[in-house]
């Protein structure tokens, strides 16, 4: 990456009003910066890692777009894992691509990610994944072998690294959060999410959403969101040069005026707040005992992205005994919401810990579930949950 021109960056700052007040009436003012990064390097301790993460996620989103164009003409590219969740060559391709890009610059930092190559080998899809990775990789392009790509995937697999009970530095990757959305069509959102954890603290995160509806009048879609500890949350259009826009959570302070999103596999009636409010998907003529429930999008990271960008006020997730909660579904979202001014805790109000899974750092164990909010509403939401869940 090119060195940043700090003087040019600072001179490009200008304050602007909200671009789309009809959809985000409570979003705060933000400012725009034109640069490779939206802040000077000396303000960001992990700027080298952040630049690498931005490049890797941007490349990965390009791979997703290319695979999606052809995916419905080749059914062999869509598979189902043992838990009946869908997986595509894009999932494996993204993991291999990001792993290769990061290991080039930071070979000593381990990767915690969703996939491993065994499933790929068993379904004879290695060559398909390799060709997609070669098309987007910056290293060794035509030099990459099948073994290189498989090794890159397994670098993030379950048995790749043992952390033991001690602080650690590692990447957390969700290759495609919302694979069901990836398979649905152009309007269903999905996210490539990457975070860096240092001594059990999430210090940076990058999310790419190739079909995020754009804010600009030119009709462009796709967004890249980044966060760095102490430097805020920013977005720009995906895979094009352009301005970085600082993002903030919305300023809603009344629960019944908030915009909620929930997991697509859960119903409003299964959540504690249903005892206080009914949910409607139409914002017209809401009564005091009704809240607006935004249309569901697949995966958790899309909801974090919505809260961090001010398009939603609250994301609620209930933990279920029969299903584990994975670190990669939340890590990057947590820092993006925090740096946008929001808050993320479990249902008891404790911060989400990434170190409880001491040896692998693949699972998290939030008591009751996860509350993601604009911060202003957080205490009220927790009190409502507590009043209906005395055993938590």
* Binding site, annotated residues: 114, 174, 176-177, 329
Q: Which residues of 89-108 are buried (b: 16+ CB within 10 A; e: fewer)?
A: bbbbbbbbbbbbbbbeebee
Q: Which residues are annotated as a binding site for Mg(2+)?
A: 114, 174, 176-177, 329
Contact residues for 310 (Cβ-Cβ < 8 A; gap 6+): 24, 26, 27, 28, 247, 248, 249, 250, 340, 374
Residues in Cβ contact with 241 at an 8 Å cutoff, skipping those fewer than 6 apart:
none
Q: Which residues pair with 280 in a beta bridge?
A: 292
Active-site entry in 88, 116, 154, 179? 179
187 is catalytic: no
Look-up: residue for tokens 């938590």?
A: 392
Is 46 in contact with 197 (CB distance < 8 Å)?
no
**Residue 391 catalytic?**
no
Catalytic annotation, pick one of 55, 58, 91, 154: 91
Determine contact, residues 93/132, Cβ cutoff 8 Å: yes
**Nearest in space to 313 (alpha carbons), one of 8, 78, 113, 28:** 28
* Contact predicate 193/173, CB 8 Å: yes
Q: What is the rounded CA–CA span in Å between residue 197 and residue 202? A: 4
Residues with a catalytic annotation lie at 91, 179
């Amino acid at each position: 990456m090119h060195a940043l021109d700090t003087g040019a960056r600072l001179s490009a700052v200008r304050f602007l009003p909200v671009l789309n007040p009809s959809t985000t009436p409570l979003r705060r003012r933000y400012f725009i910066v034109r640069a490779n990064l939206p802040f000077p390097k000396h303000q960001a301790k992990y700027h080298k890692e952040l630049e690498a993460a931005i490049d890797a996620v941007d490349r990965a989103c390009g791979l997703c777009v290319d695979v999606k164009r052809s995916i419905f003409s080749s059914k062999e590219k869509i598979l189902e894992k043992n838990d009946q969740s869908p997986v595509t060559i894009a999932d494996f391709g993204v993991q291999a691509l990001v792993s290769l890009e990061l290991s080039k610059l930071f070979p000593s930092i381990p990767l915690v990610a969703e996939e491993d190559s065994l499933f790929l080998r068993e379904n004879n899809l290695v060559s398909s994944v390799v060709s997609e990775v070669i098309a987007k990789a910056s290293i060794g392009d035509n030099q990459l072998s099948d073994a290189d790509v498989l090794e890159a995937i397994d670098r993030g697999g379950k048995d790749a690294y043992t952390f033991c009970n001690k602080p650690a530095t590692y990447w957390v990757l969700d290759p495609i959060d919302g694979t069901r959305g990836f398979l649905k069509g152009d309007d269903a959102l999905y996210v490539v999410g990457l975070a860096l954890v240092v001594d059990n603290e999430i210090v940076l995160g990058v999310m790419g959403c190739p079909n995020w509806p754009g804010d600009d009048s030119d009709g462009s879609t796709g967004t890249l969101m980044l966060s760095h500890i102490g430097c805020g949350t920013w977005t720009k259009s995906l895979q094009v040069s352009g301005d970085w826009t600082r993002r903030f959570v919305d300023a809603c302070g009344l629960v019944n005026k908030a915009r909620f999103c929930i997991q697509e596999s859960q119903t409003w009636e299964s959540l504690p707040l249903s005892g206080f409010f009914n949910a409607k998907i139409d914002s017209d003529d809401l009564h005091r005992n009704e809240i607006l429930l935004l249309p569901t999008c697949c995966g958790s990271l899309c909801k974090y992205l919505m809260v961090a960008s001010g398009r939603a006020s609250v994301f609620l997730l209930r933990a279920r005994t029969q299903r584990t909660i994975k670190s990669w579904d939340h890590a990057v979202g947590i820092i993006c919401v925090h740096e946008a001014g929001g808050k993320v805790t479990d249902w008891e109000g404790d911060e989400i810990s990434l170190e409880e899974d001491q040896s692998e750092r693949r699972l998290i164990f939030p008591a009751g579930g996860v509350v993601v909010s604009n911060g202003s509403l957080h205490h009220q939401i927790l009190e409502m949950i507590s009043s209906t869940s005395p055993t938590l």
